[in-house]
Structure formats: C-alpha cells, structure tokens
Amino acid sequence: MKVHLKTLGCRLNEAELETWAQVFQKSGHSITKQAEAANLIVINSCAVTQDAARKSRNLIRKIHRDNPHAKLVVSGCYATLNQEEAESLMGVDLVISNKDKDQLVEKTLTELDMDAMPAMSTEPGEISLFTRGRQRAFVKVQDGCRYRCTFCIVTVARGEEASRPVQAVIDEINALHRQGITEVILTGVHLGGYGSDLGNNLSDLIKAILAETDIPRLRLGSLEPWELPEDFFMLFHNPRLMPHLHLPLQSGSDTVLRRMARRCKTEEFTAIVNKLRSQIPYFNITTDIIVGFPGETEQEWQDSFDFIKQTGFGHIHIFTYSSREGTKAATLPNQVANELKKKRSRQLHELANDMKLKFCRDNIGGEFPVLWEGYREPLERGKQRVFGYTPNYLRVCCVIRNDESVENQTITARLTALGDGCVFGDLVGGA
C-alpha cells in the first residue's frame, strides 16, 4: 500500500509525521510524495488560529477531490477540537484524536482493514524523511502543556504534559543517524517542561543526547522562555548544539503579557537573551508576536514595539490576533478593531524585515559550517545554485558546477553578501 502524509502547522506535527512514516514502512507499506498515487492519505491538521482550522478543512476537501479513491485519515488539533465536523467532511474515513496519535498507524490499519504482511523484517533502508525529500528530522520528545495562556487553544487540544523517556529519544536519534540524518530538531508543545513527569529536565535530555549519540547537529524547536534549568545556557558551548532558539515573546508590553497569562516578563526575557548573546557569538534569537491582543492600547502597542526593536530578532513570526472559541481571551473586553490590527501588523512587519537584514549583515564575512539541502536551482553555463543552513539558522545559497553535489553534507561557506531570501556564500575548500 502507498501512503501519503500531509501536515499543517507546527514542527511537532512534522515530527509526528516522521514517526508515522517509519511505522508504516515497518508494517510493510511505502511512503509516496504524490497524493494522487496513494491508497491511504493521512492529514495531521492544525487549529492554532481560526485561519489554520479553515486551511485544515480546505486541505481535507482538496485531498479528497484530487484522489477520491484513497482512504483518508485525519488527526491533529483541528480533528480533536472539531471531531464531529471533521468526521462529516466528504471523503473522511477515520478521525483520530491527539490522545490516540501514538496508535495512529495501528488504528488506521485495523479499523480500515488495511493490514499487510511486512515487506521487510528490519528497519527500513530508505528512510521516510528522504522519501519525503528532507535532510533533517524532527523528533517529538514531549506533548501537552500544564499552562493556560489565555489565547492558546493548543493546550486544550493537546492535553496534559507527557514526556518520552530519555532512552527512547536516544534510540530514535541513533536510528536516524544510521540512516544518514545529520541534524535533528527536538520538538514539543512545552519543550521547556520536558521531564516534569519523569523527574528530570530538558538539560538532562540534551546532555544524554550529546553523550550517547554521534548526531552532528542538535537543534531545539520552539521553547517557552521560562523554567529553563540553571545549566541550560552552558550547553551551547558544545558546537553540536546549534546556536539558535525560537523564544515566543508574544508581546513586549508587561501589562499585555499579564492578560495573556504569560509567565515571562520583558525584564526576564532580556536577561535570557543577554546571557545567550554574551556567551555565544552570532547567537540567533527568533520569536512570535501577537498583534492586537484584546485591550491592547496605543501605549501598550508602542511599549511592545519599542521593546521588540531594542531586543532585536533574527526573524519574527507575526500573528494578528483572532478570537478562538474555548479560550479565555475570546471573552476579554475591548477587542481591537481589525483595521488597527492591520496597521500595527504592517508596522511590525517592516521592523522585523529591517532586523532580519541587520542580523544577516552582521554575519557577512564570517565562515560557518553549512548543512546543504537537496533543493537546487539550475543556472546557465553548467552551474547550479544550492541552499543550506548555518548553525545559527541563516539560509545560505551558493553556486557550484552541475557535476558537483553537496546534498546532505556539511561544508563550510564564507558569507559574502545579502541575497533574495538567502545570504550568498562561497564554499571554502570546494564541494
């Protein structure tokens, strides 16, 4: 049976897709990148915003329209929060909620009567990530969140915190490394809360991975800027732990943060950023900002804007606030007018772009080991442009000959100039 996997939303959804892909392969099925060629399609949906829920519905309809004969399974946050609606959509054969995600493959094969004799008795030789065209892997280490930020529906959809045992994470990373993966990204709903149910913490997990695997690159997914262990910052002195963190700030105004029920004030956020930047050269901090949270006054917006500008970020994911039924924020008074939200969003996008360009310029002239991707663009005269990422997550592009290949290799590049969507670089020592 050919299985096609599709996701919307966060890196945690990506990590779950990778896990399912490998379990499907071990059950004797193959992974295909072509949805129209699949016998079974699994969609991992999102509902972090109303727009994400709408996109999930549209994707389900489109997938069924394009391949009406394939069995269609839907999981994820949209399917969990809107189970009856998801089940009623044309073409959906099975809905599996987040609490049953760990048994998704087993439930799918059993309930849809799609069991097969295993085609291979050992680990798949052609790992699912390469089948799906990726050179790095997302590894889910934790699910759920004990906190209830007033704007967040994900904690409702994902449930209580649950951490994977350290050894299970190590075994998965070692298996990925044997299959050619050179970078893994640890993901979770509340990654910083890892181990709260096991009696350990995120630092313990990172130390164990660095000690018991040989994976060349370890990267962390989105990390809430609180409850970080005392020894966490020192871990970045190990060059295998990538100097980039995505720390969701959400607002640069302390009064707005209080209404959001965030556990990190701007002063504490500044201390974290300063500690990272003072210890590690070229450390890249990226963030999330919500524009137009209920009750956001002009002064609060200006305070937020000034704090963001003062802090400086390599990239900002900007979300215009939208009300989500089931969250406390949806009941708050003084909802901000849409036109005002759009105006503030435009202002922040302009600032974010300026800060991103500044961070890129600050890195020009430096030499960095770059993990090169498989994607390439053909050029004239027997040349091609290839792309990859520095440890601090700058996208680099470089021109090489058509008969050269750098895919899934880590080769140093000297950054030379700003490009369109990337930083231009030259390979040091050649491919």
Mean pLDDT, rounded, for 402-417 = 93
* Statement: residue 126 has pLDDT above 50: no
Mean pLDDT over 190-195 rounds to 93
- Cβ–Cβ under 8 Å, residues 104 and 71: no
pLDDT-derived band at 88, boundaries 50, 70, 90: confident
H-assigned helices in 180-243: 202-212
Provide the pLDDT for residue 120.
Answer: 36
Q: Distance between CA atoms of 25 and 5, rounded to whole angstroms?
A: 12
H helix intervals, 215-330: 254-260, 266-279, 298-311
Question: Average of pLDDT values for 295-299?
Answer: 97
Sign of CA dihedral 366, 367, 372, 376: positive
Cα–Cα distance between 4 and 42 in angstroms, integer?
6
**CA 81 to CA 329: how far, in whole Å?**
17
Specify the pLDDT at position 292.
96
- Residue 212 pLDDT: 98
Average pLDDT over residues 381-391: 93
The two tokens of residue 343 are 């105006």
pLDDT > 90? residue 295: yes
Q: What is the mean pLDDT of residues 134-159?
A: 84
Which region among 92-96, 131-135, 228-232 has the lowest average model confidence (pLDDT)?
131-135
Bigger pLDDT: 285 vs 133: 285
Q: For residue 253, give the nearest of 313, 312, 293 by alpha carbon.
A: 293
* Greater pLDDT, 63 or 127: 63
- pLDDT at res. 179: 86
Least confidently predicted of 108-112, 206-210, 336-340? 108-112
Average pLDDT, the chain: 89
pLDDT surpassing 50 at residue 164: yes
* DSSP 8-state symbol, 241: B
Mean pLDDT, residues 306-331 taken together: 92
Closest CA to 157 of 256, 288, 44: 44
